């Protein structure tokens, strides 16, 4: 049970925070303190049990014993440290952000359990432990997305997320049943060590369906944008190191199986489609957080593209660097919204350079997602570009990176260019200047981590990814040509955004109906969802009608049998003559039947 110590502080801290009704301000600091303890224990566990695996007996029925398997292999510890490292930053930021005293205990309880669930997922070594964490992530994300009860759209967004994810849960459970039927084990590494059989292709396709719902990949991606109804710290956590990362991590963990099943092309195709859809939606979106949400879709799609190219190390490099810049950008968006009275439209938000720490930290996040050297995002994107041997895949990746550079600088420039009145200038200056330090210091720390994460390029190839694959992955390298093109795309995106949104002061394609309809497919996808839902509703009605007719057929049959029985009972009168006549009639009838 040793690995479970890493989640114990978060679970304990969550319950302690929940019962701090009278001291709501202390709830945040309590959760933060326990998250620090969890980080310390995670570091201790990595040092003292790295490369080891554990099995905990859950229950036994007859001769069948079900275990929860946990491991501290390289890939598991990588995700564990990422989650453990980001959690204190989220908790600290939330202390200043969550200014509704009555809701703090509930918020920090749900956030702590959410983090603990992701840590359990990180160290899972079999489908049993993974599925428990998978479901906990789903229910806690549902609670956090719909956290604001007073918002009309929040419950809708929460229901949409849990409904979409439930499709994947059913697919995952079905895959587990098929895998057990084939291998009689749920252990990831035992399954990967077994000889491959064609029977694995169907369960792997079901796992991909679950991954696509969890990681918001096409065609299950629209719940992620609607999930922005939740508090901003939840968005920062959700998009950087929890929940949506679970799906792509599972693909990375089981990549040898997908390779043997010849399903990498499926992963590649859906990754490219999602990245392109995310980038185009982001450049047309007006909501400050939804732009970043579509950006996360693009990021996760690019990670799947790398995995589809069998470039495992490049995918993991981008997996790491994306964590820090996405957490920073969401926290920055939350701070800007707070200063603007929770406004969400970038054309209505007023930016400011008065809080220099906030502004400079935001620049690091923007530069990293745009692919500016020498920030982490640059190395992550170029590593994947360098692994793209197919010219068409490379061209699509380059186009997506150009669009991402344009939309992230648009995200930065439009609030900064919006005019300020004198009174508003003074008010905003005061709000930006008096922003809680707990909301600003995590941004500065994450900006530093964005720079440090670039060094993962040098150290990642040296990590012993034992048990991950029997096949050689594409090496991690950076092509000079790919680096040059990425730099050109980043600078070109900056120039386009500056000319369109600053110099020309245009609203861009979001104000042109034709262009907006061309690139912003959110409306079309939701319309398709409604059509599918109505089709299932009608199908359900037909099945219900059939079920109702069958029910009445059975009821009428039963009533008819009772009626006949009542009539037959009257001839049972105890008279021998009646029985003799009935016997004779029966004999005659039997003779006729035999004769015929």
Three-class SS of residue 422?
helix
Given 520, 552, 569, which residue is the final one in a domain? Answer: 520
- The total of other beta-carbon atoms located within 10 Å of residue 531's CB is 10
Tell me the mean pLDDT in the region 317-326: 94
Any domain includes 359: yes
Residue 470 has pLDDT above 50, yes or no: no
Query: Structure pTM?
Result: 0.88
The span from the CA of 204 to the CA of 251, in Å, is 10
pLDDT tens for 26-49 read: 888 999 999 999 999 999 988 888
491 and 513 in a single domain? The answer is: yes
Any domain includes 457: yes
pLDDT tens for 164-223 read: 999 999 999 999 999 998 888 899 988 988 887 778 899 999 999 999 999 999 889 889
470 and 343 in a single domain? The answer is: yes
483 and 348 in a single domain? The answer is: yes
Given 520, 542, 561, which residue is the final one in a domain? Answer: 520
Phi, psi of 209 (to 5 degrees): -60, -40
pLDDT tens for 524-566 read: 788 888 898 899 999 999 999 999 999 999 999 998 888 888 8
Residue 14 has which token pair?
């969550």
Q: How confident is the model at residue 508 (pLDDT cuts 50, 70, 90)?
A: low
CB 462 within 8 A of CB 446: no
336 and 471 in a single domain? The answer is: yes
Any domain includes 27: no
Q: How confident is the model at residue 467 (pLDDT cuts 50, 70, 90)?
A: very low
Q: What is the pLDDT of residue 51?
A: 83
Residue 449 has which token pair?
């981590």
Q: What is the pLDDT of residue 63?
A: 75
Tell me the mean pLDDT in the region 348-370: 88
Cα angle, residue 49 at apex, residues 48 and 50 outer, rounded to 5°: 105
**Average pLDDT, whole number, for the chain?**
88
Q: What is the pLDDT of residue 149?
A: 87
543 and 464 in a single domain? The answer is: no
Any domain includes 454: yes
- CA torsion through residues 251, 257, 260, 263, sign: negative
Q: What is the pLDDT of residue 546?
A: 93
What secondary structure does DSSP assign to 92-120, as a single string?
Answer: HHHHHH---GGGHHHHHHHHHHHHHHHHH
CA 577 centroid distance within chain: 82
Residue 568 has pLDDT above 70, yes or no: yes
Give residue 556's domain range: 534-595
Any domain includes 219: no
453 and 548 in a single domain? The answer is: no
What secondary structure does DSSP assign to 357-420, as a single string?
Answer: HHHHHHHHHHHHHHT-TTSHHHHHHHHHHHH--SHHHHHHHHHHHHHHHHHHHHHHHHHHHS--
493 and 404 in a single domain? The answer is: yes
Tell me the mean pLDDT in the region 61-67: 79
Tell me the mean pLDDT in the region 462-484: 72
Any domain includes 267: no
Residue 88 has pLDDT above 80, yes or no: yes
Residue 509 has pLDDT above 60, yes or no: no
The span from the CA of 176 to the CA of 187, in Å, is 11
How large a percentage of the chain has pLDDT more than 70? 94
Residue 357 has pLDDT above 70, yes or no: yes
Given 520, 549, 579, which residue is the final one in a domain? Answer: 520
The span from the CA of 310 to the CA of 416, in Å, is 41
384 and 498 in a single domain? The answer is: yes
User: H-type helices in 453-521, by residue range?
Assistant: 456-459, 480-498, 513-519
Any domain includes 176: no
Residue 405 has pLDDT above 70, yes or no: yes
Q: What is the pLDDT of residue 380?
A: 92
Q: What is the pLDDT of residue 355?
A: 84
Give me the torsion for CA of 500, 502, 506, 509, rounded to 10°.
50
417 and 357 in a single domain? The answer is: yes
Counting the structural domains of the chain, the total is 2
404 and 511 in a single domain? The answer is: yes
337 and 468 in a single domain? The answer is: yes
Any domain includes 491: yes
Q: What is the pLDDT of residue 572?
A: 75
pLDDT tens for 262-283 read: 999 999 999 999 999 999 999 8
369 and 455 in a single domain? The answer is: yes
pLDDT tens for 212-235 read: 999 999 889 889 999 999 999 999
């Amino acid at each position: 049970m040793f690995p479970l110590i890493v989640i114990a502080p978060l679970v304990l801290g969550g319950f302690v925070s929940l019962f701090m009704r009278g001291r709501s301000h202390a709830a945040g600091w309590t959760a933060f303190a326990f998250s620090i303890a969890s980080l310390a224990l995670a570091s201790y566990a990595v040092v003292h049990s790295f490369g080891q695996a554990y099995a905990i007996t859950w229950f036994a029925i007859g001769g069948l014993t079900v275990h929860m398997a946990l491991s501290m292999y390289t890939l598991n510890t990588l995700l564990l440290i990422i989650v453990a490292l980001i959690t204190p930053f989220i908790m600290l930021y939330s202390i200043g952000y969550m200014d509704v005293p009555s809701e703090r205990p509930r918020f920090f309880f749900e956030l702590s359990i959410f983090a603990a669930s992701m840590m359990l997922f990180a160290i899972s070594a079999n489908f049993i432990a993974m599925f428990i964490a998978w479901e906990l992530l789903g229910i806690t994300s549902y609670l956090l997305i719909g956290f604001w009860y007073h918002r009309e759209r929040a419950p809708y967004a929460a229901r949409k997320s849990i409904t979409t994810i439930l499709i994947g849960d059913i697919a995952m459970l079905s895959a587990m049943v098929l895998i057990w039927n084939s291998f009689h084990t749920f252990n990831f590494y035992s399954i990967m060590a077994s000889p491959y059989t064609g029977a694995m292709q169907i369960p792997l396709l079901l796992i991909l369906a679950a991954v696509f719902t969890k990681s918001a990949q096409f065609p299950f991606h629209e719940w992620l944008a609607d999930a922005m109804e939740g508090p901003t710290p939840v968005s920062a956590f959700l998009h950087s190191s929890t929940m949506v990362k679970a799906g792509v991590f599972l693909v990375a963990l089981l990549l040898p199986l997908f390779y043997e099943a010849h399903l990498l092309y499926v992963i590649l195709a859906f990754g490219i489609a999602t990245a392109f859809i995310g980038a185009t939606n982001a450049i047309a979106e007006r909501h400050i957080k939804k732009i970043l949400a579509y950006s996360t879709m693009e990021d996760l799609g690019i990670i799947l593209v790398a995995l589809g190219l069998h470039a495992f190390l490049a995918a993991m490099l981008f997996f790491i660097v994306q964590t820090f810049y996405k957490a920073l950008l969401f926290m920055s968006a939350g701070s800007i919204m707070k200063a603007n009275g929770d406004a969400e439209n970038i054309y209505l938000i007023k930016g400011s350079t008065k809080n220099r720490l906030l502004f400079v930290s935001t620049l690091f996040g923007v530069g990293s997602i745009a692919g500016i050297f020498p920030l982490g995002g640059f190395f992550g994107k170029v590593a994947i570009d360098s692994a793209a041997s197919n010219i068409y895949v490379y061209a699509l990746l380059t186009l997506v990176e150009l669009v991402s550079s344009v939309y992230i600088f648009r995200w930065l420039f439009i609030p900064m260019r919006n005019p300020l009145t004198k009174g508003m200038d003074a008010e905003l200056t005061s709000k930006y200047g008096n922003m809680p330090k707990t909301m600003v210091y995590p941004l500065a720390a994450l900006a530093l981590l964005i720079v440090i994460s670039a060094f993962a390029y040098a150290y990642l190839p040296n990590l012993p990814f034992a048990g991950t694959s029997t096949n050689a992955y594409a090496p991690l390298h950076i092509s000079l040509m790919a680096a040059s093109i990425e730099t050109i795309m980043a600078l070109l995106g900056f120039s386009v955004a500056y000319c369109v949104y600053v110099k020309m002061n245009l609203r861009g394609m979001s104000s042109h109906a034709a262009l907006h309809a061309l690139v912003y497919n959110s409306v079309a996808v939701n319309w398709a969802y409604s059509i599918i839902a109505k089709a299932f509703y009608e199908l359900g009605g037909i099945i219900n009608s059939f079920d109702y007719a069958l029910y009445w057929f059975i009821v009428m049959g039963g009533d008819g049998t009772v009626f006949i029985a009542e009539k037959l009972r009257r001839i049972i009168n105890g008279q021998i003559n009646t029985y003799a006549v009935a016997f004779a009639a029966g004999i005659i009838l039997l003779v006729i039947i035999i004769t015929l």
